[in-house]
Amino acid sequence: MSLEITSVNKSFCGWTKHYTHRSTALNCDMRFAIYLPPQTANGQKVPVLYWLSGLTCTDENFMQKAGAQRIAAELGVAIVAPDTSPRGVGVADDDGYDLGQGAGFYVNATQAPWNRHYQMYDYVMNELPQLIEATFPVSDKRSVFGHSMGGHGALVLALRNPDTFQSASAFSPIGNPVDCSWGQKAFAAYLGKDKGAWADYDASLLMRKAKGAVPVLVDQGEADDFLEEQLKPETLEASAKESGYPLKLNRREGYDHSYYFIASFVEDHLRFHAKHLAT
């Protein structure tokens, strides 16, 4: 699988790089960013932390705004950030910001016209990690984190695949998408009317019946404009309490939904993951 590099920037003695490649899962060209810490310069293999971004974002937002490279360099952890959806001419789209290009929701769409390209779950679970591990000096140890829609995606991936990921975390995740307008709109379009299929992509429902577990950290700003209508962290807490799931949820007074919030606590998340990636 050929990769085309589009940008390279040295950062804290490591490298932030952006690539495009042809995706078989998504049937289009895709973009991703990777931060390779300085430990990889001599070929040392490092674990990988996958970042999943939120609505309207691309592979660039986290790498440019979160300020994660300094800590990743210290800890010896690579970070991979894919785009949030398939894109391009011929890829289905919608006029709304919360559906279509930029809003893949990390599901495998089953409904036309979305099912031709919108297989984001398979892409981030299988195709992209296989490409990363075959191309770069990284190990097969993975953890995953994300923000908002990407926080939903990160939790779902870890909950459904506890043997694949060492840990998971999220900033302001959509915790119960079957019960909020963002999730209902996306799931109805991508997955159809059968709400039984929706449950496979709802972190609160998955956590309630989880049989395997990975450590999960969630940070939620209490001044988040989407807190009550879209994010519903209380559903995650209730599910974890019911099943005994190892969830730690921090409520952060005064913080909103922005990258100012993410940048304030990204170090905590990186150190959390590094601890579990080292085991």
Name the residues annotated as catalytic.
148, 224, 257
The H or E element spanning position 195 is: helix 195-198
Asked whether the CA dihedral 198, 204, 209, 211 is positive or negative, the reply is: positive
Buried-state track 154-172, b at ≥16 Cβ within 10 A, e below 16: bbbbbbbeeebbbbbbbbb
Please tell me whether residue 8 adopts helix, strand or coil conformation: strand
Q: Which of 225, 11, 26, 1 is nearest to 135 (CA)?
A: 1
Q: Which of 136, 103, 108, 137 is nearest to 122 (CA)?
A: 108
Strands 3-11, 14-23: parallel, antiparallel or unpaired by DSSP?
antiparallel
Question: Can you tell me the distance from the alpha carbon of 201 to that of 155, in angstroms, rounded to the nearest whole number?
Answer: 9
Reported as half-sphere exposure (CB side, CA atoms, 13 A), residue 197 has a value of 15
Integer distance in angstroms from the first to the last C-alpha of the chain?
31
Peptide bond into 113 cis (omega under 30): yes
